[in-house]
C-alpha cells in the first residue's frame, strides 16, 4: 500500500516514545479524530487515536473499496478534520491467490537502500532464526536478532554502498550509513558458500500468512534472565513453536518453555544506585546510566515523570513494534526505556563537561565538528525534522531516541544496558507487558498480523504466571478507557 504522507503522534498508552506514522489511504479511512493533551510530568505533547472503522467522506472516491484501486483520494487533516488536498492513490501491493510468486522487498528506514526479489509461493514459509546473544543485542540495540537467508541476488548486495562492520572473523553486518538500519549478515565459513541473511525487520509486510516460520531461538543463555525469549514463543501463531537452545543446537542444551525461573532478587522494590553501562558492540559508544542521580523519593507525586513507577521508582520498559523503529533496528519489535538526561553520564570523571542536561544540548554536542571525543562513534539520523535517532556509526547499534519537544526525556535502547542480573535489567526496569503497544495496528494484515498480538498475549500470560503486577501506566489507561 503506497504511503501518502507522514504524521507523528505521541501515543500515551505505549509510553513516551513517539510513533512516526506512515499512513496509506486505507488507514486514513480507518482512523478517527485524534485529541491532544499534555502529560502532567511536562514530558510532552501526546495524541491518541479515538477509534477505528470510521469512513470519511473523500472527494472522487465513492466507497472504501475504491481506495484499494487506482483512484483519486484526499489528504485528510486529523486535527482540523478537513480535506487538505486531493491526490492520486495507486495500489502497489495488490495480490491475488492466483499469483505464483510474491515480491519480497528489504528496505532501510531512510529508503536509501532497497533490495527486491521474487519468491515462489511453493517455497513458503521461509525458515527464520532468532538469536539472543549478547553480541547481537549490543550490535543492533534490539533485544534479539532475527533473520532469514536472502533469496535474492547476492550481486545486488555486493554492488551496494552499505557500510560493513566486522562482527566476527566469519561474519559482517551490512547496514545503512545514514539511518543505521542493519540489513544483512554477510557470512563466510570454511568450505561453505557465501551466505547473506536478511534482517526480518526490514522486510515488507507481504500479504501472505506464512511468509516466515521462526524455527529456533538460540543463545538464550546469554540473557541470564531470559530476556524477551519467553514472550517470543508463539510468534508462529498456530504453527509449531520455535525450539529453544542455550547456545547453538549443535552444542546441545535445549531448553523448556519455563526457563528460567523468575529472578526474585532482580525484582527488589528499590532500584540500585550502581552504575549500569550503556555500551554498543564495538564500544565506540560508552556511557553509563546512573539511576541514583535523581532522587524521585523527594518529589511530590505529581512531579514524578510518568515513566517512573511511583513506589519503586523503576523505569518503564516497553514493547515497540512501530514501523519506524522496526526499520531502524532491523527487528520486528524494539524495546525502549525512558530516562532523564542527568541520569546519563560519561563512564570516567574528567575535567571535561558533564553529559548534556537536555536533548537540545545533546544534539548540539554530537553535531559539533570539534566535539568532545567522549561521544565516541555516536551519530545522529533525523527521521523527522524534530526527531533524532542516535546510533553507533561503526557497528550500527541504535542507542537513543529524542524529540525536540521532550528536552527532559531520552529513550534508551534496553539492549545496550549491561545490568548484572540479566538482559531485562529488572533491578531498574518495570516491563509494560500485556498492554497496548505503540503501532500494533500496523500488524493487522500481512505476514506480521499475528506476530505483535502473539507477543502481547504471550507476555501477558507470562506476567500473570510469574506474579508481576500490571504497570501503573496500563492501569491508568484502562481506567480511562472505562470512563470513555
CATH code, domain carrying 387: 2.170.150.70
Phi, psi of 356 (to 5 degrees): -55, 145
Contact 321, 332 (CB under 8 A): yes
> Hey, what long-range contacts does 350-354 have (CB within 8 A, 24 or more apart)?
350/374
Do 294 and 440 fall within a single domain?
yes
CATH number at residue 241: 3.90.1590.10
Do 223 and 106 fall within a single domain?
yes
Do 442 and 311 fall within a single domain?
yes
Spatial distance between the Cα atoms of 475 and 468, rounded to a whole number of angstroms = 13
Across the strands, what pairs with 398? 391
Question: For residue 96, what is its C-alpha cell?
Answer: 491475488
The DSSP call for residue 169 is S
Examine residue 94 and state whether it is found in any structural domain, yes or no: no
Residue-level pLDDT at 352: 79
Examine residue 326 and state whether it is found in any structural domain, yes or no: yes
Examine residue 95 and state whether it is found in any structural domain, yes or no: no
The most distant pair of C-alpha atoms in the chain lies apart, rounded to whole Å, by: 68
With CA atoms as reference, report the closest residue to 286 among 275, 296, 297, 294.
275
Do 114 and 83 fall within a single domain?
no
Range of the domain at 370: 266-483
Contact 274, 280 (CB under 8 A): no
Examine residue 260 and state whether it is found in any structural domain, yes or no: no
Residue with cell 502473539: 454
Residue with cell 561503526: 394
Contact 203, 116 (CB under 8 A): no
Do 288 and 207 fall within a single domain?
no
Residue-level pLDDT at 237: 83
Do 195 and 274 fall within a single domain?
no
Do 85 and 108 fall within a single domain?
no
Examine residue 130 and state whether it is found in any structural domain, yes or no: yes
Question: For residue 236, what is its C-alpha cell?
Answer: 508462529
Contact 87, 75 (CB under 8 A): yes
Examine residue 96 and state whether it is found in any structural domain, yes or no: no
Contact 120, 100 (CB under 8 A): yes
Do 298 and 390 fall within a single domain?
yes
Question: For residue 409, what is its C-alpha cell?
Answer: 526525556
Spatial distance between the Cα atoms of 113 and 102, rounded to a whole number of angstroms = 20
Across the strands, what pairs with 334? 320
Across the strands, what pairs with 76? 83
Rg (CA), the chain: 22
Contact 151, 104 (CB under 8 A): yes
- Per the rule left: phi > 0, alpha: psi between -120 and 50, beta: everything else, 395 is alpha
Do 50 and 158 fall within a single domain?
no
Do 181 and 241 fall within a single domain?
yes
Contact 253, 260 (CB under 8 A): no
Do 125 and 229 fall within a single domain?
yes
With CA atoms as reference, report the closest residue to 55 among 63, 44, 45, 47.
63
Spatial distance between the Cα atoms of 359 and 400, rounded to a whole number of angstroms = 10
In 3-state terms, what secondary structure has residue 466? Answer: helix
Residue-level pLDDT at 227: 97
Residue 251, judged by CB atoms within 10 A of its CB (0-12, 13-18, 19+), counts as exposed
With CA atoms as reference, report the closest residue to 355 among 290, 265, 420.
290
In the chain, how many domains are there? 3
Examine residue 261 and state whether it is found in any structural domain, yes or no: no
Strands (E), 97-247: 101-107, 114-120, 126-131, 145-149, 163-166, 171-175, 182-187, 195-199, 212-218, 243-244
Residue 211, judged by CB atoms within 10 A of its CB (0-12, 13-18, 19+), counts as buried
Examine residue 256 and state whether it is found in any structural domain, yes or no: no
pLDDT tens, position by position, for the chain (484 residues)? 333 333 333 333 334 444 344 344 333 333 333 322 233 333 333 333 333 333 333 333 333 333 333 333 333 333 333 333 333 333 444 445 545 899 999 999 999 999 999 999 999 999 999 999 999 999 999 999 999 999 999 999 999 999 999 999 999 999 999 999 999 999 988 877 778 999 999 999 999 988 999 999 999 999 999 999 999 999 998 789 999 999 999 888 999 888 887 554 455 554 565 899 999 999 999 999 999 999 999 999 999 999 999 999 999 999 999 999 999 999 999 999 999 999 999 998 777 789 999 999 999 999 999 999 999 999 999 999 999 999 999 999 999 999 999 999 999 999 999 999 999 999 999 999 999 887 776 676 789 888 888 999 999 999 999 999 999 999 999 999 888 7
Contact 46, 37 (CB under 8 A): yes
Domain boundary among 218, 251, 284: 251
User: Which residues touch 90 (CB under 8 Å, ≥6 apart)?
Assistant: 2, 70
Residue-level pLDDT at 241: 93
**Beta strands 212-218 and 126-131, pairing class:** parallel
Do 206 and 304 fall within a single domain?
no
**DSSP one-letter string for 119-154:** EEGGGPSEEEEEE--HHHHHHHSSS-EEEEE--S-H
Residue-level pLDDT at 194: 78
Spatial distance between the Cα atoms of 400 and 171, rounded to a whole number of angstroms = 26
Q: What is the pTM (predicted TM-score) of this model?
A: 0.80
With CA atoms as reference, report the closest residue to 49 among 37, 26, 27, 33.
33
Domain boundary among 251, 281, 296: 251
With CA atoms as reference, report the closest residue to 241 among 226, 223, 254, 260.
254
Domain boundary among 58, 89, 120: 89
Amino acid at each position: 500500500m503506497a504511503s501518502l504522507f507522514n504524521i507523528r503522534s505521541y501515543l500515551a498508552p505505549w509510553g513516551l516514545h513517539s510513533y512516526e506514522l506512515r499512513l496509506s489511504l486505507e488507514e486514513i479511512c480507518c482512523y478517527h479524530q485524534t485529541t491532544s493533551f499534555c502529560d502532567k510530568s511536562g514530558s510532552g505533547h501526546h495524541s491518541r487515536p479515538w477509534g477505528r472503522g470510521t469512513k470519511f467522506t473523500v472527494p472522487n472516491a465513492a466507497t472504501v473499496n475504491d481506495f484499494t484501486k487506482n483512484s483519486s483520494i484526499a489528504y485528510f487533516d486529523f486535527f482540523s478534520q478537513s480535506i487538505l488536498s486531493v491526490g492520486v492513490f495507486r495500489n502497489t501491493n495488490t495480490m491475488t491467490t492466483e499469483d505464483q510468486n510474491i515480491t519480497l522487498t528489504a528496505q532501510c528506514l531512510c529508503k536509501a537502500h532497497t533490495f527486491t526479489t521474487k519468491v515462489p509461493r511453493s517455497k513458503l514459509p521461509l525458515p527464520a532464526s532468532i538469536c539472543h546473544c549478547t553480541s547481537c543485542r549490543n550490535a543492533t540495540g534490539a533485544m534479539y536478532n532475527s533473520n532469514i537467508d536472502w533469496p535474492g541476488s547476492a550481486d545486488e548486495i555486493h554492488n551496494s554502498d552499505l557500510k560493513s562492520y566486522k562482527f566476527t572473523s566469519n561474519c559482517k553486518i551490512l547496514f545503512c550509513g545514514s539511518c543505521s538500519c542493519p540489513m544483512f549478515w554477510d557470512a563466510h565459513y570454511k568450505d561453505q558458500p557465501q551466505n547473506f541473511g536478511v534482517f526480518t525487520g526490514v522486510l515488507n509486510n507481504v500479504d501472505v500468512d506464512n511468509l516466515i516460520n521462526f524455527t529456533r531461538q538460540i543463545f538464550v543463555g546469554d540473557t541470564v534472565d531470559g530476556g524477551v525469549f519467553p514472550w517470543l514463543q508463539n510468534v508462529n501463531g498456530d504453527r509449531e513453536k520455535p525450539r529453544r537452545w542455550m547456545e547453538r543446537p549443535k552444542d546441545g542444551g535445549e531448553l523448556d518453555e519455563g526457563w528460567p525461573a523468575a529472578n526474585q532478587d532482580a525484582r527488589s522494590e528499590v532500584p540500585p544506585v550502581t552504575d549500569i553501562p550503556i555500551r554498543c558492540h564495538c564500544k565506540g559508544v560508552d556511557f553509563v546510566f546512573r539511576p541514583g542521580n535523581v532522587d524521585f523519593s523527594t518529589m511530590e507525586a505529581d512531579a514524578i515523570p510518568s515513566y517512573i513507577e511511583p513506589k519503586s521508582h523503576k523505569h518503564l520498559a516497553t514493547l515497540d513494534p512501530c514501523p519506524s523503529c522496526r526499520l531502524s533496528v532491523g527487528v520486528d519489535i524494539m524495546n525502549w526505556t525512558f530516562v532523564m538526561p542527568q541520569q546519563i553520564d560519561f563512564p570516567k570523571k574528567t575535567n571535561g563537561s558533564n553529559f548534556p542536561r537536555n536533548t537540545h544540548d545533546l544534539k548540539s554536542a554530537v553535531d559539533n565538528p570539534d566535539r568532545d571525543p567522549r561521544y565516541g562513534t555516536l551519530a545522529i539520523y533525523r527521521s523527522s525534522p524534530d526527531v533524532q535517532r542516535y546510533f553507533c556509526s561503526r557497528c550500527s547499534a541504535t542507542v537513543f531516541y529524542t524529540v525536540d519537544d521532550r528536552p527532559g526525556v531520552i529513550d534508551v535502547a534496553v539492549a545496550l544496558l549491561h545490568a548484572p542480573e540479566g538482559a531485562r535489567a529488572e533491578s531498574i526496569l518495570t516491563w509494560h507487558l500485556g498492554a497496548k503497544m505503540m503501532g500494533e495496528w500496523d500488524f493487522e494484515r500481512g505476514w506480521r498480523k499475528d506476530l505483535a498480538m502473539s507477543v502481547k498475549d504471550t507476555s501477558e500470560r507470562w506476567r500473570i504466571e510469574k506474579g508481576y503486577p500490571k504497570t501503573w501506566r496500563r492501569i491508568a489507561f484502562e481506567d480511562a478507557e472505562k470512563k470513555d
